């Protein structure tokens, strides 16, 4: 039977995937406290609905950095979709286009960024890891520009990789799909692909390198959000990397409001981490996110049923969001406000 919610895809994906690939996708770092909290923290927030407003349907369409999307549920950048399905990111990007949304494409994709953009019908952003070789980063930015990507998403929470224990146990048995086609034609020694400890100077450097808008992904502290705006960043993705980097940091939804306040409308703010229900999306939007990104559930859909599965995951979240808005008396994603959300006592 076709899943009726996103969580049901998790079990299907687990059955469909190689055990080592499943470990890699499902892992968080350390005790996985942050990963669990990303999800659980949404349960600590309650929606206070309004009634008798004549709201029989809701408008979900919005823009992100000027790109029109049919709904504010976008796809987080994730490496190696090839672990979930042989068509990898090419299937995911078709699902994104058919669901009327935007996908952020990872530096660590199993398909080249050009191949992915050739399969796309909707807008794409390129997620950049700046490794030790800055020349490599510059070449990737140029390739993303020529392939029509509309923004650079610099991931800033990864000066080294988090310790994902599920993955450490099975690393040597990872299937061969785990190679990164984007990096194929890059003739660099292995150590150049190690993460780099970036500074705000690197952000300035990236800003000077390209006219594409810059989004910083992995901000939790409001002071970092304010600094990001001072450094010319146009988007901030509040994220703890799905609990895969530093364990023990706040759930993304817990960090959102302070970031929104610090930014004060000077940049767009997005959130990812733990989005599993349309009501999660509603809460994040009410607390000031312009849009949310979804990570693992997309790979669950992809593993369970390829392009159609990834698309269905997006459609389930979209339909749940629309229903939740109607039931809460909210006609439009643009007019949600924080009064809609209460903390459970």
Ligand X SMILES: Cc1cc2nc3c(=O)[nH]c(=O)nc-3n(C[C@H](O)[C@H](O)[C@H](O)COP(=O)(O)O)c2cc1C
CA–CA distance, 238 with 258 (Å, rounded to integer)? 10
Least distance (Å) from ligand X to the CB of residue 277? 12
CB of 341 to ligand X, least distance (A): 19
Judged by the rule CB under 6 A, the positions of this chain that interact with ligand X are 24-25, 38, 76-79, 106, 108, 127, 155, 217, 239, 241-242, 244, 272-275, 294-296
Q: Which residue, chain included where needed, has tokens 């994730």?
A: 78
- At 270, which helix (H) or strand (E)? strand 268-272
Q: Residues 277, 43: contact at Cβ < 8 Å?
A: no
Q: What is the rounded CA–CA span in Å between residue 339 and residue 163?
A: 38
Task: Indicate the DSSP class of residue 250.
Answer: P
Shortest distance in whole angstroms from residue 241 CB to ligand X = 5
User: How many Cβ atoms sit within 10 Å of the Cβ of residue 196?
Assistant: 17
> Is residue 241 flagged as an active site residue?
yes
> Nearest-CA neighbor of 83 among 110, 108, 103, 105?
110
Closer residue to ligand X (CB): 281 or 330: 281
The span from the CA of 243 to the CA of 241, in Å, is: 5
CB closer to ligand X, 166 vs 231: 166
Nearest 5°: phi and psi at 246? -85, 115
- 81, 85, 241, 312: the catalytic one is 241
Q: Tell me the CA distances in angstroms from 157 to 4, 81, 186, one per residue in order.
A: 34, 21, 24
Q: Which is nearer to ligand X, 167 or 234 (CB)?
A: 167
Task: Compare residues 107 and 330 and give the one whose CB is closer to ligand X.
Answer: 107
Q: Which is nearer to ligand X, 110 or 305 (CB)?
A: 110
Please report how close the Cβ of residue 275 comes to ligand X at its closest, in angstroms.
Answer: 6
Helix (H) or strand (E) holding 342: strand 341-343
Smallest separation (angstroms) from ligand X to the CB of 48: 25
Active site residues: 241
């Amino acid at each position: 039977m076709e899943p009726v919610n996103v969580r049901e895809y998790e079990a299907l994906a687990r059955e469909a995937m190689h055990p080592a690939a499943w470990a890699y996708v499902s892992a968080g770092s350390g005790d996985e406290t942050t990963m669990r909290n990303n999800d659980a923290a949404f349960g600590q927030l309650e929606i206070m609905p309004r009634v008798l407003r004549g709201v029989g349907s809701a408008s979900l369409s919005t823009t992100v950095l000027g790109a029109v999307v049919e709904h504010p549920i976008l796809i987080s950048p994730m490496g190696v979709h090839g672990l979930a399905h042989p068509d990898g990111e090419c299937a995911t990007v078709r699902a994104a286009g058919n669901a009327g949304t935007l996908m952020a494409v990872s530096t660590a994709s199993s398909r080249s960024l050009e191949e992915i953009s050739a399969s796309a019908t909707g807008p794409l952003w390129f997620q950049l890891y700046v490794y030790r070789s800055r020349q490599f980063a510059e070449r990737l930015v140029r390739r993303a520009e020529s392939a029509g990507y509309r923004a650079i998403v610099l991931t800033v929470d990864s000066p080294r990789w988090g310790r994902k224990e599920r993955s450490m146990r099975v690393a040597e048995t990872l299937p061969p799909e785990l190679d990164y086609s984007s990096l194929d034609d890059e003739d660099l020694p292995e150590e150049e692909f190690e993460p780099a400890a970036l500074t705000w100077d690197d952000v300035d450097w990236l800003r000077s390198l390209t006219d594409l808008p810059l989004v910083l992904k992995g901000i939790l502290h409001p002071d970092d959000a304010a600094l990001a705006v001072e450094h010319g960043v146009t988007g901030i993705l509040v994220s703890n990397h799905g609990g895969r980097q530093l364990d023990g940091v706040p759930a993304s939804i817990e960090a959102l409001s302070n970031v929104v306040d610090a930014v004060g409308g000077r940049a767009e703010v997005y959130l990812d981490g733990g989005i599993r229900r349309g009501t999660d999306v509603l809460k994040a939007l009410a607390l000031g996110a312009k849009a949310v990104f979804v990570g693992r559930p997309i790979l669950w859909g992809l593993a369970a049923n390829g392009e159609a599965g990834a698309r269905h995951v997006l459609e389930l979240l979209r339909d749940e969001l629309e229903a939740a808005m109607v039931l809460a008396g909210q006609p439009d994603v643009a007019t949600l406000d924080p009064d809609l959300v209460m903390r459970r006592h």
